[in-house]
Amino acid sequence: MSSAQKVIPIHPAPDAASDQEQALYEVRKKIYPRAVSGWFAKWRWALVWFTQLIFYGAPWLSWNDRQAVLFDLGARKFYIFGIVFWPQDFIYLAVLLVISAYSLFLFTAVAGRLWCGYACPQTVYTEIFLWVERVIEGDRIAQMRLDASPLSARKFGLKSAKHGVWIAISLWTGFTFVGYFTPIQELTREVVSSSLGPWEAFWLFFYGFATYGNAGWLREQVCKYMCPYARFQGVMFDRDTLVIAYDEERGEQRGSRSKKADPKALGLGDCVDCEICVQVCPTGIDIRKGQQYECIGCTACIDGCDQVMDKMGYARGLIRYASLNGVSQHLGWREMIRRVFRPRVMIYTAVLWAIIIAAGLSLWNRVPVKVDVIRDRATLSREVGDGLIENVYRLQIMNTQEKARELKISATGVDGLQLTGLPSPLALEPASTRMYTVTLRAPVTSAQKGSNRIMFHIEPATAEDDFALQEKSIFFK
Amino acid sequence: MGRYIMWVLWPSFIAAGMGVGIIFSLIDPTELVILGHPLHVSRTAVYTLGFFILWAICAAASALSCFLQATSHRDEGR
């Protein structure tokens, strides 16, 4: 045994209780984005108008004497202009989601978070709510002063007015939302006569409340903490993706200076450190720190900075739309646009077009009639007189289009098979489903013992229609 | 705490919305039989209740994930 034992020194761990308890997360400070005007702000507002005219306006359009866009959940039929979708068309909804996701990937790879900055409902409603806040409470400084001031009649009045307008917009949004599922004209009559159904009322208030909460209170927190896209959009980026970029090489060393001073003589870059870019940011970040997942690509900082550059007499574009390669390699617009056509973008585009074309073709070639054949469960088969065997079936026939049609239905598979129980021709009303009980009879001698494969043939009775449907079934002896 | 509420309620909201879409595209609520009793309520009612039941179940799963993640030892699985 060795006498020289190894000694392991013991360091007491800091007493956990003596550590000051720290909050797990910093407390959210309210962001007061400064209003900004400029080229990009105009585009943002144009997109707000465009998307909201569609959202608020679409339910009021008519088509074939009904609402043009109506997701009639009660009747399990979706109407989108001339097309009627049935639960059997679920695949098209799935394809639509795939197309949306792929478009998002493509736009993100080309020019970053265009969706977030211009079209996401969270951005759009926040923009509208901020505008209301600005009109009622005044600009950024006035809002900060108002919030810091003690409660007074004036503060109470302004706050009530703001929340009143917000709630009105939210309720109108909720009403429009429900109007996509219940015919909006009917809904209007129900609201006016206060005879709104309980579920419609519930969804109107629920959606309205969500709008009010998200656009009025949560705002940038939705993008920062709740949005999954914000977290994974980075994987669609590369160094040639157009993003909101601060030209660090040109801007640094940042510092304030007089307009007349020569920055080079002072050893300064073009950034005057006015912090306008931080003040206008709806998520409260500093773009000069580089790419951050909180940046929703709204371009407010570009407009803000350009105005300062104009005032200073410097070139615009210290903060600009550019790719990371564009900034570091001093690429011009032409070169950056050329780099848009890179393999990643080409592959995204090719896949997207392939899906769109496949979905379009399948929709175009959709057979307008669907038929389900269900065997009668009560009796497999029975003998009737004259040496005949009888089987009973139920046919569910669906006319998926808003056009009346006439059908001829026959069955084959056993010699001498006769079909009865259907009018001929069979008239189907537009966009309707009918159930018919049908009997098939065949001579005992021609059918095999056990099951016989048979086929129902469904064809149009008029020349203007062109399709042929076949449905398999079994005839028992 | 507020942030945990967002993390629990929002993903479960999206999941419940998708779930309700898939389930009721395949199943017509008027054909539902629960514990041997056919339902005598409107489709809209079933859709709404179905959505909230699913939301609650998904929220429970999200909450459990959050809880397990927050209470795991710092050195493990991070």
pLDDT (tens digit per residue) in A351-399: 999 999 999 999 988 888 999 999 888 878 888 888 899 999 999 999 9
Structure tokens at A257: 């200076």
Flag whether residue A199 sits within 8 Å of chain B, measured between CB atoms: yes
Q: What is the pLDDT of residue A278?
A: 94
Query: Tens of pLDDT along B26-61?
Result: 888 888 888 888 888 889 899 999 999 999 999 999
Q: What is the pLDDT of residue A23?
A: 53
Query: Tens of pLDDT along A165-211?
Result: 999 999 999 999 999 999 999 999 999 999 998 999 999 999 999 99
Instruction: Report residue A87's pLDDT band, with 50, 70 and 90 as the boundaries.
Output: confident
CA separation for the pair A80, A75 (Å, rounded): 15
Which of B43, B51, B55, B71 has the highest number of chain A CBs within 10 A, making it the mutation to test binding with A? B43
CA separation for the pair A84, A433 (Å, rounded): 13
Average pLDDT, chain A: 90
Residues, chain A, total? 477
Instruction: Report residue A450's pLDDT band, with 50, 70 and 90 as the boundaries.
Output: confident
A228 contacts on B by Cβ (under 8 Å): 11
Instruction: Report residue B76's pLDDT band, with 50, 70 and 90 as the boundaries.
Output: low
CA separation for the pair A120, A470 (Å, rounded): 45
What ipTM did this prediction achieve? Answer: 0.86
- A with B: how many residue pairs have Cβ under 8 Å apart? 36
CA separation for the pair B34, B36 (Å, rounded): 5
Flag whether residue A200 sits within 8 Å of chain B, measured between CB atoms: yes
Q: What number of other Cβ atoms are within 10 A of residue A291's Cβ?
A: 14
Give per-residue burial for A349-376: e unless 16+ CB within 10 Å, then b.
eeebeeeeeebeeeeeebebbbbebebe
- CA of A228: which chain B residue's CA is closest? B11
Note whether A221 contacts B28, CB cutoff 8 Å: no
Note whether A221 contacts B6, CB cutoff 8 Å: yes
CA separation for the pair A287, B4 (Å, rounded): 27
Flag whether residue B71 sits within 8 Å of chain A, measured between CB atoms: no
Question: Taking the domains of chain B in order of start, what are their residue ranges?
Answer: 2-71
CA separation for the pair A388, A383 (Å, rounded): 6
In chain A the domains, ranked by start, together with CATH numbers, are 27-366 (no CATH), 369-476 (2.60.40.10)
Structure tokens at A339: 């780099």
The order of strands in the sheet holding A69-72 is A69-72, A77-80, A83-85
Contact A286, A278 (CB under 8 A): yes
Partnered with residue A406 across adjacent β-strands are A427
Structure tokens at A162: 């703001």
- CA of B18: which chain A residue's CA is closest? A94
Flag whether residue B48 sits within 8 Å of chain A, measured between CB atoms: yes
Flag whether residue A332 sits within 8 Å of chain B, measured between CB atoms: no
Q: Judge whether residue A113 has pLDDT over 60.
A: yes
Partnered with residue A476 across adjacent β-strands are A451
The model carries a pTM of 0.85
CA separation for the pair A363, A107 (Å, rounded): 25
3-state helix/strand/coil string of A44-84: HHHHHHHHHHHHHHHHHCEECCEECEEEECCCCEEEECCEE
Partnered with residue A419 across adjacent β-strands are A440
Dmax over CA atoms of chain B, in Å, equals 54
Note whether A226 contacts B43, CB cutoff 8 Å: no
Contact A395, A377 (CB under 8 A): no
As a whole number of Å, the end-to-end CA separation of chain A is: 95
Flag whether residue A476 sits within 8 Å of chain B, measured between CB atoms: no
CA separation for the pair B9, B12 (Å, rounded): 5
